[in-house]
Amino acid sequence: MDVGGSGIKGAPVDTNTGTLLAPRFRLPTPKPSKPRPVAETIAEIGKHFDWQGPIGCGFPSVVRNGVIFTAANINKLWIGTDAGTLIGEATGCPVAAINDADAAGLAEMAFGAGRDRMGVVLVVTIGTGLGTALFTDGHLLPNCELGHVEIDGKDAELKASDAARQREKMSWKQWARHFDNFLRTMERLVWPDLIIVGGGASKKHALFFPYLTVQAEVLPAQLLNEAGIVGAALAARPTPPTG
């Protein structure tokens, strides 16, 4: 499941291949997007697929041990909510909650542009905001909200998100200057070997990649709109026994 401000999308996923086993099913996010109505909507999507197994849910939030700590584009009542428990009660299934950018990053590292890549990989999702996921040798450092880094005295996503491009009616070349400034700031902070650009704007990468000046290799994401769903499913996979 991929929980967004306007819609909640879900599909069964083959976690060995990263492919969807059925077309995505989307329902509008309840207004207001309070915890219980959202949980009931997720349960409705599960019923659409007659799903009985584990469920992964990506949220536009910092998520620690299933508990929501921030609420970007969803109701503030989510803060402090144990999403795993609440959605588990609504669906009758075991639930793993994860930050949505982290979910997209997991999918790209497993099946997309980051597959088999070692070193430091930064995944940036461009949309209403700037989501980020950071990996070292394939290991995720969760909840890296680097899109909120302050640049020139302002939250980075206020200038470098796709919402900012549309709001301020910038051309792709004009907007690329702001996005490049964000990436160069990331380069100074974490020195990535590879930057993967995802989110809705990545489909237009040919219009702004030529204006990027970072030293790191920059690639468009491969899974596009399916990344959040695939990554959430990966987060819900049972942990294999050890020893």
Q: Is the pLDDT of residue 106 over 70?
A: yes
In 3D space, the residue among 201, 203, 194 whose CA is nearest the CA of residue 115 turns out to be 194
Task: Give kind and range of the element (H or E) at residue 42.
Answer: helix 35-48
Q: What is the mean pLDDT of residues 176-200?
A: 96
Q: Is the pLDDT of residue 99 over 60?
A: yes
The CA–CA distances, whole Å, from 211 to 40, 50, 83, 214 equal 44, 47, 40, 10
Q: What percent of the chain is modeled with pLDDT above 90?
A: 89
Domain boundaries, the chain: 2-100+227-235, 113-221
Question: Of the given ranges (132-141, 150-159, 234-243), which has the lowest mean pLDDT?
Answer: 234-243
* Equal CATH topology for 2-100+227-235 and 113-221: yes
Q: Is the pLDDT of residue 87 over 80?
A: yes
Q: 216 in helix, strand or coil?
A: coil
Q: Is the pLDDT of residue 242 over 80?
A: no
Contact between 109 and 138 (Cβ < 8 Å): yes
Contact between 237 and 15 (Cβ < 8 Å): yes
Q: What is the mean pLDDT of residues 226-231?
A: 95
At residue 68, the pLDDT reads 97
Q: Is the pLDDT of residue 127 over 70?
A: yes
240 — pLDDT class (breaks 50, 70, 90): very low
224 — pLDDT class (breaks 50, 70, 90): confident
Compute the mean pLDDT over every residue in the chain, rounded to the nearest whole number: 94
Q: CA 3, CA 156: separation in Å to the nearest integer?
A: 23
Q: CA 195, CA 31: separation in Å to the nearest integer?
A: 35
pTM: 0.92
CATH 3.30.420.40 fits 2-100+227-235, yes or no: yes
Take residue 135 and report the two structure tokens written for it: 């990996």
At residue 239, the pLDDT reads 64
The CA–CA distances, whole Å, from 144 to 6, 100, 104, 190 equal 23, 11, 13, 11
Which segments within 65-119 are labelled E, that is strand? Answer: 67-68, 95-99
What's the fold here for domain 113-221?
A: Nucleotidyltransferase; domain 5 (3.30.420)
